[in-house]
Copies of this chain bind each other. A is one copy, B any other.
């Protein structure tokens, strides 16, 4: 009896496609160039693909890798994998041949869906170098050996396999602060809970049109794409990000949501300054605040009205949201617990800085093939994020900085974010990144890399004196250097600390644990 209802209660992410076919048979699911599929066609094609992959041996736990630009086939393959209980990884197609080779060996997929255009040469090199017995399917081709060829051979009859939502579905490679990237395995339930939470925040519903203009191998774009699919909206795919192409898509499809890197937004403004393209579906006006962020959404979306949060790939992108209330990085997600731990796994005192530790169904199942890392990151019964933070008096989260970027000087822990916060208060400073540089006596010295405001000036001594007056003396920089700009992660305001380290002699950071 109980078993009967246990089965009835199962709901994998593939079931969302099945229900859309019943509930929204004629609504648009995906648009990609000339391809326009309603939810009926989309569900049928994902069933065909799942059946075809099953015929080629892909079963529960099987792994499928995507190596190509944005395409509606990413969503199709994800849903086909969901129906099989398999794991899908949309990987970074911008990687070098060596990186792809490592990825292929690490993820060890049974099936690779690849693209010839732009990246064919790199991928062929990696394919040869990595070896392995895999099915390679080209998605930008027809016929034998192609994605479409395989799909067409699949039966349209849905075996309706029941999938436990605790199974992993999505693999996202995350750039660890040290060492090589690991694939975080995220379950069906993780995706679905996050879709409901992000869907509310971004005001996504069945009338939404999500323009996938950011890379789908990052959760920034993927979160919006998955929530849009789950809630019955349409996903529009752009293989490349160029201003005119995006303007045409925004106008033609009446996009309501998008992930557009800040420089591209600037280009769009420039190209469209005469208002040749109607972009009113996406931005209420060129002066509106929703123009400012890579995550574009309706002006009344809670996440736009109150932007901010904290997260990482291991917790499906975001685990706290300013839109849920409070200050700074906002409140913890309704489906998570967050605490702050010291290095022995004890909760730190009120207001103290500790490591963000997370529990609940938004946490990944584990890193793939990294049991030592799983053991280490889960050792206190919480997922350790490697990020430092604290609680505001009202209970909101405050992100302090990555834990592995602690600077160790004369056995004192120095958090770059602390020092940066101080230096930012200097009236001449526009931007700053604080790094540690190796020192034989003190282990590391604090070095500030600073961008000055236009027309302003400040000396090394000015900055050091400014810090001495405001923070503990051991935290003040010993070295200051001035630059024109700091390297940022594409489309974000976040400084690429590794790049700053590389350019300015950073290193010697204390290792974690």
Contact = CB atoms under 8 A, between A and B. Distances in A.
Interface stretch (A96-104, A193-201, A480-488): A193-201
B205 A324 contact: yes
Contacts of A206: 324-325, 331
A381 interface: yes
A353 interface: no
Given A1-B371, A325-B232, A23 B363 contact: no
Contacts of A324: 205-206, 231-232
Q: What copy number does this chain have within its complex?
A: 2
Interface string A382-393: 110000000100
B375 A337 contact: no
Interface string A183-204: 0000100001101110110000
A239 to B, nearest CB: 29
Nearest to A300: B300
Nearest to A197: B196
Contacts of A193: 193, 196
A161 to B, nearest CB: 12
Given A18-B337, A23-B326, A332-B23, A10 B359 contact: yes
B8 A381 contact: yes
Contacts of A444: none
Contact of A366 (B1, B207, B336): B1
A409 interface: no
Nearest to A231: B334
Contacts of A26: 394-395
Interface in A431-451: none
A24 B324 CA distance: 11
Interface in A354-391: 358-361, 363-366, 371, 374-375, 378-379, 381-383, 391
Contacts of A391: 22
A9 B371 contact: no
Interface string A331-342: 110111111000
Contacts of A1: 366, 371, 374-375, 378
Contact of A8 (B10, B207, B378): B378
A120 to B, nearest CB: 37
Interface string A147-190: 00000000000000000011000000000000000000001000
A22 B395 contact: yes
Contacts of A218: none
Contact of A359 (B8, B197, B358): B8
Contacts of A10: 359-360
Interface string A6-36: 1111110001101100111110000000000
A70 to B, nearest CB: 24
Contact of A11 (B2, B9, B325, B335): B335
Given A324-B205, A325-B206, A371-B1, A230 B334 contact: yes
Given A359-B9, A381-B7, A19 B365 contact: no
Contacts of A205: 324-325
Interface residues of A, number: 66
A364 B8 CA distance: 9
B361 A165 contact: yes
A359 B11 contact: yes
Contacts of A394: 24-26
A23 B187 CA distance: 26
Interface string A403-437: 00000000000000000000000000000000000
Interface string A222-255: 0000000011100000000000000000000000
A361 B9 contact: yes
A326 B39 CA distance: 15
A291 to B, nearest CB: 24
A361 B7 CA distance: 10
Given A205-B324, A232-B324, 6 more contacts: A1-B374, A1-B375, A2-B366, A5-B363, A5-B366, A15-B359
7 contacts: A1-B371, A5-B378, A11-B360, A22-B395, A23-B338, A25-B394, A205-B324
